[in-house]
Amino acid sequence: MTTELEHVDPRNPDARVIARAAACLRRGGLVAFPTETVYGLGVDALDRDAVRRLFEAKGRPSNDPLIVHVSSIEEAGALVIAVPAIARALAARFWPGPLTLVLPRSSLVPDEVTAGLETVAIRVPSHPVARAIIAAAGRPIAAPSANLFSRPSPTQGAHVLDDLGGRIEMIVDGGPTEVGVESTVLDLSRNNPIVLRPGAVTLEMLRPYVPGVRYRTGPTDDEVAQTSPGMLSKHYAPRAPLTLFSGDPLAVREAMVTMAHALAAAGQRVGVMATAADARALGEIGVVLALVSGDAGAEETMVAVASRLYAALRELDTARVDVILACEPAGADGLGGAIRDRLRRAAAHVVRVG
């Protein structure tokens, strides 16, 4: 299959490209497009055959459910048994945006989308290209991240082409995505709502609407009944083993620099996910650096790290490093929690320092 690649202005996408993407989706085609989080691989959520082809193209196990993307809370209504007041309030505050809500599904949603679960995950994305394509398609669009299963999620059109070129009908390239980590997944189908996956919408932001909300701890009931690989501990991983340093920020950097020196001296090709300050501490030794941020203030830095995280992992893979070293962000607040979660899933080893 030849994959059609189209570049568009992310703020004002060419209407002809959007119309072609929408027509392709309506025919059961697979179309990758940017969202504000990462690139999604879209398919008509109500077309079972197309959904099966999507799982095949990604190499994704069929027991990992998909998020359905819609244009509005009204459109979400048809996919669920009911829209509870709490979902309405959350949608009013956070949609369009990087928050996914899990609710009891209606019979309209095929089993293939939900991996047989009685719930469905739904969100309204804010990226103008995603919004335009979903509106033009006039259907709910199931869209997991547009990467091969277990690879880091794509945050640039080129990442999608690398993973899925020749396997899908079309890629709409709207430049790098803004947030860089996948949406927050909030399960509202239970009595006590929990965040299944941390993202840019943080616990602190959710608390005014969902007072008792917390992160998931152990596996959920659904996962006990049927494992959900999206939550698998090893996920989003680069090819080279990643060693993650966790603990007191200064001690962590020192430990990482020491290990980088030792491995480089032993002849290993070392890749480091580094802030500008890490890069200075590493000095002139021969390591491959993937910069994740400049030297801005703490929260600004987390925003920068999140947006660069997956691109940095892919750059180090392309540079064919033998090992990757990275430091965990100090705070678990804000985006720090989401970055930590993705780094832990990508890591082969975690070294606790201090």
Footprint of ligand AMP on this chain (CB under 6 A)?
A: 64-67, 102, 114, 117, 119-121, 144-145, 182, 185, 187, 196-197, 228, 230-231
The least CB distance from residue 51 to Mg ion, in Å, is 15
The least CB distance from residue 298 to ligand AMP, in Å, is 27
The smaller minimum CB distance to ligand AMP, of residues 236 and 245, is found at 236
The least CB distance from residue 167 to Mg ion, in Å, is 15
Quote the CA–CA distance of 134 and 209 in Å, as a whole number: 28
Tokens in use for 155? 């945050």
**Residue among 159, 139, 198 at smallest CA distance from 34:** 159
Tokens in use for 293? 């941020």
The smaller minimum CB distance to ligand AMP, of residues 117 and 257, is found at 117
Q: Quick one: what does residue 120 bind among Mg ion, ligand AMP, none, with the CB cut-off 5 to 8 Å set by partner type?
A: ligand AMP
Taking the CB of residue 182, how many other CB atoms lie within 10 A of it? 26
3-state SS class at 218: coil
The least CB distance from residue 177 to ligand AMP, in Å, is 13
Q: Quick one: what does residue 185 bind among ligand AMP, Mg ion, none, with the CB cut-off 5 to 8 Å set by partner type?
A: ligand AMP
State the alpha helices, DSSP H only, in 59-145.
73-77, 85-94, 111-114, 128-137
Q: Quick one: what does residue 255 bind among Mg ion, ligand AMP, none, with the CB cut-off 5 to 8 Å set by partner type?
A: none
3-state SS class at 172: strand
DSSP string, 231-279: G-SS-S--SS-EEEEEESHHHHHHHHHHHHHHHHHTT--EEEEEEHHHH
Judged by CB under 5 A, the stretch of 110-118, 145-153, 262-270, 315-323 that binds Mg ion is 145-153
The least CB distance from residue 201 to ligand AMP, in Å, is 14
Interaction residues for Mg ion, span 78-137 (CB under 5 A): none
Q: DSSP assignment, residue 229?
A: G
The least CB distance from residue 104 to ligand AMP, in Å, is 9
The smaller minimum CB distance to ligand AMP, of residues 151 and 253, is found at 151
The least CB distance from residue 182 to Mg ion, in Å, is 6
Q: Quick one: what does residue 309 bind among ligand AMP, Mg ion, none, with the CB cut-off 5 to 8 Å set by partner type?
A: none
3-state SS class at 184: strand
The smaller minimum CB distance to ligand AMP, of residues 161 and 196, is found at 196
Quote the CA–CA distance of 259 and 253 in Å, as a whole number: 10
Quote the CA–CA distance of 329 and 341 in Å, as a whole number: 10
The smaller minimum CB distance to ligand AMP, of residues 152 and 271, is found at 152
Q: Quick one: what does residue 169 bind among Mg ion, ligand AMP, none, with the CB cut-off 5 to 8 Å set by partner type?
A: none
- Using rule CB under 5 A, residue 145 touches Mg ion: yes
The smaller minimum CB distance to Mg ion, of residues 148 and 259, is found at 148
Q: E strands within the chain?
A: 4-7, 31-34, 39-44, 67-69, 99-104, 119-123, 141-142, 170-173, 184-187, 194-197, 214-215, 242-247, 270-275, 288-293, 323-327, 349-353
- Using rule CB under 5 A, residue 183 touches Mg ion: no
The least CB distance from residue 72 to ligand AMP, in Å, is 19
Q: Specify the amino acid at residue 29.
A: G
The smaller minimum CB distance to ligand AMP, of residues 9 and 118, is found at 118
3-state SS class at 9: coil
The smaller minimum CB distance to ligand AMP, of residues 102 and 134, is found at 102
Q: Quick one: what does residue 156 bind among Mg ion, ligand AMP, none, with the CB cut-off 5 to 8 Å set by partner type?
A: none
What is the phi-psi region of residue 249: left when phi exceeds 0, alpha when psi lies from -120 to 50, beta otherwise? alpha
Binding site for Mg ion (CB under 5 A): 145
